[in-house]
Amino acid sequence: MLCLQMLTTSAVFVSTQPPLTSFLPYTFRGAYIFAFLSFTHALGGLMCGLAVLNIYGACDRIWVKDVLTASRFRLCCTLRFVGWPCISLTISIMFLMLALLIASYAPELWWVQCLITVEVLSWAWLPPFFTWCAIS
């Protein structure tokens, strides 16, 4: 569900003109490129997720054990294929956030830049904090 929302949000940013170009010009070249990359990763994640659902819906557990997990290489590839929709969605979200960050710094409005900086800093502490908590 989240992948579909990300796909539609990215598609809106890629396919429409901004209503206030002086406020948030997301058709600026750098922002547009990252919005397009976000769209392609969301689309790829959706296609991969649908493939995983169709494959696992059509097979039984004996076939999975005998074929998909027959060797260490096949197991690693299967686990990567199953996890790729989540990875692709994360990359898509990061690209869209970067596109909006670039678009918000383009018009030189100090109060928008301050709000965006506070917003980015409110999210930036999460990966180091998670890493610190995960390492024993």
Does residue 60 belong to any structural domain of this protein? yes
Q: pLDDT digits over 46-97, tens only?
A: 888 888 888 888 888 898 888 888 899 999 998 998 899 989 988 988 898 8
* Distances from the Cα of 40 to the Cα of 43, 60, 127, 130, angstroms: 5, 32, 24, 28
Instruction: Report the predicted TM-score, pTM, of the whole model to 2 decimal places.
Output: 0.75
The predicted pLDDT at position 76 comes to 92
pLDDT at 21 over 80: no
Q: Are 42 and 6 in contact (CB under 8 A)?
A: yes
Does residue 77 belong to any structural domain of this protein? yes
Does residue 56 belong to any structural domain of this protein? yes
Does residue 121 belong to any structural domain of this protein? no
The better pLDDT of the pair 28, 134 is held by: 134
Helix (H, G, I), strand (E, B) or coil at 34: helix
Does residue 54 belong to any structural domain of this protein? yes
**Measured distance CA(28)–CA(17) in Å, rounded:** 10
Q: Are 112 and 26 in contact (CB under 8 A)?
A: no
Does residue 125 belong to any structural domain of this protein? no
Compute how many other C-beta atoms are within 10 angstroms of the C-beta atom of residue 69.
14
Does residue 100 belong to any structural domain of this protein? yes
**DSSP state letters, 56-98:** HHH--HHHIIIIITSSHHHHHHHHHHHHHHHHHHHHHHHHHHH
Of the candidates 52, 25, 30, 47, the one whose C-alpha atom is nearest the C-alpha of residue 107 is: 25
Cα diameter, the chain? 61
Number of domains in the chain: 1
Does residue 40 belong to any structural domain of this protein? yes
Q: Which domain holds residue 75?
A: 2-109
